[in-house]
Amino acid sequence: MKRLAWAFVSAVDRLNRFIGDYVGYLMLPMIFVICWELISRKFFNKPTIWAMEMTWMIFAVYIIWSGGPSLLAKAQVRMDALYNKWKPRTQACIDMVTFVCGLIFCGVLTYKAFSNAIISWNVGEVSNTPFGQPLYHLRMIVAMGTVFLLLQTLSDFVKNLWMVITGEELKK
């Protein structure tokens, strides 16, 4: 049982660590697009029709794909005033209770993201801006990001369950 739990937790944590290592680089093209638009608009008086839309698309991917890695790094907001005073086993019990809310949120988010992505893909959705950028690929990428968050939520649950049952951290 321990080997199976460790394999799942290890695989999900490695995946989200890998994503976290690289998703930050999305800021570089976003900064480039913003600078391009700024220079084009201010110095040449030729604003683009695509820069704003590309910026929010890149940012959407950055935000949703950062969910799993930030959960892995324990970067979410939590009431540490009380939490840090508790024993690790008590912390794990509390985390398991809040897991239900997190699982419902991630499950609904993933379901809605994939249903929207499939509908968008089937109709060939494009944005209603003058640029008319296709949106179905973005919706599918966002849906994939919700899966990473859901997997990390399940990984954290397994770690907390192990702590509650055995009183020790799940290690190899």
Question: Over 62-121, what HEC string results?
Answer: HHHHCHHHHHHCCCCCCCHHHHCCCCHHHHHHHHHHHHHHHHHHHHHHHHHHHHHHHHHH
78 pLDDT higher than 80: no
Nearest to residue 78, comparing CAs of 67, 91, 90?
A: 91
Residues 94-110 pLDDT 10s:
888 888 888 999 999 99
Distance in angstroms (rounded) separating the CA atoms of residues 11 and 150: 14
**What is the model's pLDDT at position 74?**
85
Average the pLDDT over 54-64 and give the result: 94
**What is the model's pLDDT at position 151?**
96
CB atoms within 10 A of CB 31: 12
DSSP state of 1: -
80 pLDDT higher than 80: no
Confidence band (pLDDT; 50, 70, 90) for 31? very high
Question: Which structure tokens are listed for 73?
Answer: 């790094």
Query: What's the angle, vertex CA 61, arms to CA 78 and CA 115, rounded to 5?
Result: 95
Confidence band (pLDDT; 50, 70, 90) for 2? confident
DSSP state of 47: -
pTM (two decimals): 0.86
Is pLDDT larger for residue 144 or for residue 165? 144
124 pLDDT higher than 90: yes
Q: Do the Cβ atoms of 161 and 11 come closer than 8 Å? A: no
